[in-house]
């Protein structure tokens, strides 16, 4: 994926400057700065390099002008062939990288028994044909993704963008659950997906379903819609071909319909509200994707952009960082704060580029003349105890010109003691 992004970013950069280049360590350092900006949370990305709000880690990785230059040329596909691919794929501008990312998410982790499927709205107002609006989300506009998330760890197992051209809603659930079928898992959905036909399709592949059903659904029996909402804390149960429908009234003039192939027996509690076990299990299992989305938003790399592929890339980095943290804890057994993990991850991503920069600076300093011409002086390159003093001598280790105030004072020793 990094090689693909590097290839097309360099291609776009060379259209403006034929000598423009970027290697893989520099691209990794660019992603490291995105992660650091998500952790530090400055008012604007430019503040990361400011004199008052700037952070030394970001300043030491890459200059602001270079970061903005890479952001300007950041591309994920061949722009010369995009017009043809867009005719059959609306996601063509980032489709190849996205498919590789999703394949890695699926192959890197084996989810538990319970999987939650719900929507994630990544906030953005960029112009694209599939920009979505959701009145129930904090940010009303964004790009919608259908996410399959492990209930216990909140690992993103599978994710599909909603391009607004899929008329068959149950197909989304079947696509998301395709790698995890025939393993006795249970998938939790909301009324947007849940239907009797979907439950039977999943059950035929040894996967059970638990989800809410809309009261206006045509599959609901007429007796389930009559007179129940007049009685508080009442429950009716309907069953057919291994599927159970629980209709519960949590309050007057309100009903909750739960469709389940997970429960063969529906039992009501002994509390005052007499909640059935299907309602309790749904309440416990429905929040996997919402909890994941909340965790992602806490340290998101999201920033203002006018290009929707960059917004998708931001979401990809956010999900990848969360999944990496979950995998790290699962493989090592070490519980580490997510903020500490992200800082360490950014440091490791930028390590190769930072070391290459230091080696390049040292090489350039070595190429400078050992001694200046008579009567000439250079400015001090250390500036620890001076502003811009003049110097004629260079450091023996780093080869920088050093003035008398910035040099290290050495204790006078005789030749016998210095050996």
What's the pLDDT at 363? Answer: 81
Residue 55: closest CA among 41, 66, 72: 41
> Contact 354/61 with Cβ under 8 angstroms?
yes
pLDDT in tens, 56-96: 889 889 999 999 999 999 999 999 999 999 988 889 999 99
What's the pLDDT at 235? Answer: 82
pLDDT in tens, 14-45: 998 888 999 999 999 999 999 999 998 888 88
> Contact 75/9 with Cβ under 8 angstroms?
yes
C-alpha torsion angle, residues 169, 170, 172, 175 (rounded to 10): -160
Residue 261: closest CA among 275, 236, 281, 291: 281
Segments making up each domain of the chain, as ranges: 1-75+336-367, 95-291, 373-419
What's the pLDDT at 166? Answer: 56
Give the up-direction half-sphere exposure of residue 55: CA atoms within 13 A in the CB hemisphere: 21
| Terminal-to-terminal C-alpha distance of the chain | 55
- Counting as low any pLDDT under 50, the low residues of the chain are 168
- 224: helix, strand or coil: helix
What's the pLDDT at 53? Answer: 83
Residue 159: closest CA among 138, 137, 131, 179: 179
What's the pLDDT at 14? Answer: 92
pTM, entire model: 0.85
What's the pLDDT at 246? Answer: 87
C-alpha 59/C-alpha 167 separation (Å) is 49
């Amino acid at each position: 994926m990094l090689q693909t992004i590097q290839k097309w970013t360099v291609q776009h950069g060379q259209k403006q400057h034929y000598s423009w280049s970027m290697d893989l360590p520099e691209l990794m350092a660019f992603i490291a700065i995105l992660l650091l900006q998500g952790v530090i949370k400055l008012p604007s990305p430019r503040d990361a390099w400011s004199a008052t709000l700037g952070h030394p880690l970001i300043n030491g990785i890459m200059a602001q002008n270079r970061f903005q230059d890479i952001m300007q040329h950041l591309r994920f596909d061949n722009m010369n062939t995009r017009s043809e691919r867009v005719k059959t794929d609306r996601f063509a501008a980032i489709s190849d990288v996205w498919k590789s990312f999703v394949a890695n998410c699926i192959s890197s982790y084996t989810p538990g028994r319970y999987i939650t499927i719900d929507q994630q709205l990544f906030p953005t107002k960029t112009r694209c044909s599939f920009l979505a609006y959701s009145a129930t989300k904090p940010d009303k506009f964004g790009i919608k993704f259908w996410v399959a998330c492990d209930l216990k760890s909140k690992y993103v197992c599978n994710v599909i963008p909603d391009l607004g051209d899929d008329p068959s809603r149950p197909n989304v659930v079947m696509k998301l659950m395709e790698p995890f079928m025939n393993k006795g898992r249970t998938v939790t959905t909301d009324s947007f997906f849940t239907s009797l036909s979907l439950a039977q399709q999943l059950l035929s592949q040894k996967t059970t379903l638990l989800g809410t059903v809309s009261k206006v659904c045509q599959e609901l029996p007429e007796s389930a819609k009559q007179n129940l909402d007049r009685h508080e804390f009442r429950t009716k149960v309907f069953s057919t071909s291994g599927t159970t429908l629980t209709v519960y009234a949590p309050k007057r003039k309100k009903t909750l319909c739960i469709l389940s192939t997970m429960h063969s027996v529906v039992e009501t509690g002994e509390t005052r509200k007499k909640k059935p076990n299907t309602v309790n299990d749904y309440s416990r299992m429905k929040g996997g994707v919402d909890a994941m989305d909340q965790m992602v938003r806490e340290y998101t790399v999201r920033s203002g952009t006018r290009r929707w592929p960059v917004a998708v890339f931001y979401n990809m980095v956010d999900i990848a960082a969360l999944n990496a943290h979950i995998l790290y804890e699962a493989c090592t057994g070490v519980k580490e704060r997510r903020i500490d993990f992200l800082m360490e991850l950014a440091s490791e991503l930028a390590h190769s580029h930072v070391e290459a920069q230091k080696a390049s600076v040292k090489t350039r300093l070595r190429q400078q003349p050992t001694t200046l011409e008579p009567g000439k002086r250079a400015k001090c390159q250390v500036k620890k105890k001076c502003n811009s003093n003049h110097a004629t001598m260079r450091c023996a280790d780093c080869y920088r010109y050093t003035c008398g105030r910035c040099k290290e004072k050495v204790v006078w020793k005789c030749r016998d003691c210095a050996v």
